[in-house]
Amino acid sequence: MTVLLDGKKLATTVRSKLKERTATLRAKGIIPRLVVIMVGDNSASAVYVRNKKRAATEVGIEAVDLHLPGTTSQDELLALIDQYNQDPKVHGILVQLPLPQQIDEKVVTQAISPLKDVDGFHPMNVGQLFMGTPQAFPCTPRGIMELLAAYDIEVAGKNVVIMGRSNIVGRPMAALMVNHDATVTITHSKTQNLAAITRQADILVVAIGRGEFVTKDFVKPGAVVVDVGMNHNAEGKLVGDVKRDDMLDHASYLTPVPGGVGPMTIAMLMQQTVEFAERS
């Protein structure tokens, strides 16, 4: 019997604890404040920003939502980020990706102060994560670790295989797993004998952006499967990178899509904002 890892339920618990923490901060005169900057009119980004703002308001974080025109120059965006870096009343800064082509994402990521980098993407924060002394975490990998811990799934000593090497999920996920004493393998588009490698995983994390690519042939019986994918199939239905029906009664644990990793990503963004406010 496969147990579904309920990220929606856990995210609700995380948010209710955060409400208490923001209430304590507000009693001290500190209002946790998150600035979310979106450039241009990407419809998917607009949905993400709306969801983040709604979650922030619910837990007592003041969300400053800035929607800039698609013609905004890189210098204009950098000047705005610098303004919020200097503002002691702002605890977190998030620039929603993707950005228009005239703006270099790397330059923007590096412009956000590491102390306000709620996405955990600044090279300094990434470096500290890989050194085992993290100050900020990318939210999706952190959400996955919280989800595994909530279901008492032990990571130490386990074989963990991560499919995908993105800077947002795959690489930081590997660092977090190593920090928790797992033995980690990262696979990617150039990996040979892919299924032979993934079948060795006690815990398989899939973040490749290919709808229902992973079938039971990739997964050893009883493995824990974490599906980070968000794709729409031919019928327009939201599906993960893993073929869910193949995993039922095959995997021991599985994150559903939707309702698994997604809600935890936003919950961790809120948690990190509150932590930054507490440190301030």
Choose, from 52, 116, 158, 243, the residue flagged as catalytic. 52
Confidence of residue 243 (pLDDT cuts 50, 70, 90): very high
CATH number at residue 43: 3.40.50.10860
Q: What is the pLDDT of residues 139-181, one digit of tens each?
A: 999 999 999 999 999 999 999 999 999 999 999 999 999 999 9
User: Quick one: pLDDT at residue 128?
Assistant: 97
Residue 43 placed within a domain: yes
User: Quick one: pLDDT at residue 44?
Assistant: 84
Q: What is the pLDDT of residues 30-59, one digit of tens each?
A: 999 999 999 999 888 888 899 999 999 999
Of 118, 151, 176, which residue constitutes the final position of a domain?
A: 118
Choose, from 6, 117, 119, 241, the residue flagged as catalytic. 119
Residues 74, 113 share a domain: yes
Residue 1 placed within a domain: no
Quick one: average pLDDT of 112-133? 97
- Return contacts of 49-53, CB within 8 angstroms, 24+ apart: 49/96, 51/266, 52/94, 52/266, 52/269
Total domain count for the chain?
2
Q: What is the pLDDT of residues 186-223, one digit of tens each?
A: 999 999 999 999 999 999 999 999 999 999 999 999 99
Domain around 153: 139-262
166 carries a ligand binding annotation:
yes
**In the annotation, is 96 catalytic?**
yes
Residues 190, 250 share a domain: yes
Residue 194 placed within a domain: yes
Residues 238, 156 share a domain: yes
SS3 (DSSP) at 141: helix
CATH number at residue 195: 3.40.50.720
Question: DSSP letters of 86-137?
Answer: H-TT--EEEEPSP--TTS-HHHHHHHS-TTTBTT--SHHHHHHHHTT--SS-
User: Quick one: pLDDT at residue 159?
Assistant: 98
164 carries a ligand binding annotation:
yes
Residue 59 placed within a domain: yes
Question: DSSP letters of 14-72?
Answer: HHHHHHHHHHHHHHTT---EEEEEEES--HHHHHHHHHHHHHHHHHTPEEEEEEE-TT-
Residues 161, 199 share a domain: yes
**In the annotation, is 52 catalytic?**
yes
**In the annotation, is 119 catalytic?**
yes
Residues 161, 93 share a domain: no
Residues 182, 102 share a domain: no
Residue 229 placed within a domain: yes
Residues 148, 81 share a domain: no
Task: Check: pTM over 0.75? Answer yes or no.
Answer: yes
User: Quick one: pLDDT at residue 237?
Assistant: 92
Identify whether the C-beta of residue 211 lies closer than 8 Å to the C-beta of residue 236: no
User: Quick one: pLDDT at residue 242?
Assistant: 98
132 carries a ligand binding annotation:
no
